[in-house]
Structure 1
Amino acid sequence: MNDDGPSLRERRREETRRLVQSWAMRLFVERGYDATTVNDVARASGVSPMTVYRHFPTKEDLVLHDRCDDLLAERVAARPADEPPVRRIGRALVDATRSLLGPAGGARSPEHDLLLARLRLVVDTPALRARHLDSQYATRKALVDAVLGDAPDPEAEFRAQAAAGACLAVLHVALVRWAREDGRPDLPDLIAAGLTAAFDDDSGRPPASRPTR
């Protein structure tokens, strides 16, 4: 039988990864990031320290690891190829965030609370802030590769790099404000508003919400 879905082994690995990260975040919030060791996380999760390191090579990865780069790249690749890179990336950022957090005005989801806790840790922990900056390079590369597809050229790559860097800067500003306001604003709307302010157009807005001129 042909099955394109994840294997049982892959599903179990993902379940273990989620369990370990969930316990890590709980301990980091309760005890503080610096006061919590990888051994503490392993004991709370009911796994060995080696298992933790197999899924998360560094302590920082317990906070920063996610699958958002893949989701963003998929959303960018799915948008019309003739859209300007800023618009493709901007709308993908808004759409992906909406997909993760759910509809505006709804109940706070576990994903909402997890993202908020992660952001607070990053803001308050110097080691995490430094690693977060490094992770931005990987996110930018994923976005640029999705924009370029299979036929990159130097000029197109330059434009895609500039667009991705600018959109990620807007995303960072929106995330910081969202965290400071305890996750109360609608994050996708904040990102869209930031993109509009930065580029003086509707880069983050879906076509249906374009203002009439």
Structure 2
Amino acid sequence: MIRMPTAPQPGTGLRERKKIRTRQAIRRAAYRLFEERGFEATRVDEIAAAADVSPSTVFRYFPTKEDIVLSDEEDPIVEAALRARPAGEPPLASLREALRQTIEQLYASPEAPEEIARRMRLIATVPSIRARLHESVADTSGMLTRVLAERTGRRPEDLEIRVFMGAVLGGLTEAMLHVAEHHAEVDVVDVLDRALTVLQNGLAD
């Protein structure tokens, strides 16, 4: 999935709001240091000091340095949007609309465009982040598999669900890499829409 800044949502509890603020502080400090020193040269203890937290706190929120760029914060938003889609709607249509709504919501934050641009530059240029991207996208598969299995009346372990999710996750990974490589020239929603259209129609014109 495309990782973007997440603002506290209405009704979010105090504890969760503190967690979100801590994650944001760590990420913003990391991005500053990545730009100043480079990703590989920046140590986690330096990020922790810049964010005014301990190194253990950084690792609690982000198990690896790459996860600071690729953390999966939008899954609950996608899940809620998927569950809100009409019963009987084709899975790809439901997923397309859920992703569109999620991206529009996350882009609404004033600081989102610059933070997204930073993330895309890192994904495009840092090999370890690109390698971790495949694992990060796969982390989303459990949620999507569970929800789409429920919506289609299948079991998550059914072959049809596994094949469908493998195709979807592969498509989302390639879409994200395309956005990273051409970020200044493309629209995120359009890229995802094109990726899902290929899954639906193949390579037909």
TM-score, structure 1 as length reference: 0.77
Structure 1 letter corresponding to 2:61: H
Comparing 155-164 and 12-21, the one that deviates more: 155-164
Distance 1:116 1:171 in 2: 18
Structure 1 position 62 matched with structure 2 position 68: yes
Contact 1:90-1:195 at 8 Å conserved across structures: yes
Question: Which residue number in structure 1 is paired with residue 82 of structure 2?
Answer: 76
**2:106 & 2:193 partners in 1: Cα distance?**
15
Aligned-residue offset at 1:133? 1.0
Secondary structure, aligned partner of 1:149: helix
Pair 1:156–1:39, CA change in 2 (3 A): closer
Equivalent in the alignment of 1:205? none
How many angstroms does 1:151 deviate by? 8.6
d(CA) in 2 for partners of 1:160, 1:112: 34
Corresponding residue for 2:52? 46
Cα contact 2:29–2:50 (8 A) shared by 1: yes
Bigger drift between 165-174 and 47-56 goes to 165-174
Q: Please say if residues 19 and 45 of structure 1, whose CA atoms lie closer than 8 Å, have aligned partners that are also in contact.
A: yes
Aligned to 2:3: none
Residue 183 of structure 2 aligns to a residue in which SS?
coil
Provide the C-alpha distance between the structure 2 equivalents of 1:22 and 1:194, rounded to a whole number of angstroms. Answer: 30
CA contact (8 A) 1:144 1:164 kept: yes
Secondary structure of 1:60 counterpart: helix
Is 1:160 the equivalent of 2:166?
no
Change (3 A) 1:197 1:152: closer
Q: Hey, what does 1:206 align to over in structure 2?
A: none
* Correspondences of 1:178-197 after superposition (within 5 Å): 178-197=179-198
Structure with bigger gyration radius: 1
3-state DSSP of counterpart to 1:79: coil
Pair 1:14 & 2:20 matched = yes
The one-letter amino acid paired with 1:160 is I
| Structure 2: gaps of 5 or more residues | 1-9
Greater alpha carbon shift after TM alignment, 4-13 vs 138-147: 4-13
**Alignment check: 8 A CA contact 1:76 1:146 kept:** yes
May I ask how many residue pairs the two structures share in their alignment?
193
How far apart in 2 are the matches of 1:112 and 1:163?
Answer: 31
In 1: Cα distance, 2:112 partner to 2:72 partner: 11
2:103 paired residue number: 97
2:66 aligned partner, one-letter code: E
> 1:91-141, CA deviations, whole angstroms, 9 ceiling, x for partnerless residues?
222222222224xxxxx9422322232232223223222222112222122
Hey, what does 1:119 align to over in structure 2?
120
Unaligned stretches of 5+ residues in structure 1: 103-107, 202-213
Question: Which residue of 2 is the match for residue 31 of structure 1?
Answer: 37
CA contact (8 A) 1:95 1:188 kept: no
Matched letter for residue 190 of structure 1: V
Partners of 2:16 and 2:100 in 1: CA distance: 29
Tell me how large the CA RMSD over aligned residues is. Answer: 2.7
2:4 aligns to what?
none
Which whole-Å CA distance do the structure 2 matches of 1:11 and 1:146 have between them?
A: 26
Q: Distance in 2 between matches of 1:139 and 1:120?
A: 22
TM-score of the superposed pair, with normalisation by structure 2: 0.79
CA distance in 2, matches of 1:55, 1:142: 19
CA shift, 1:164, in A, is 3.0
Letter in 2 for 1:66: D
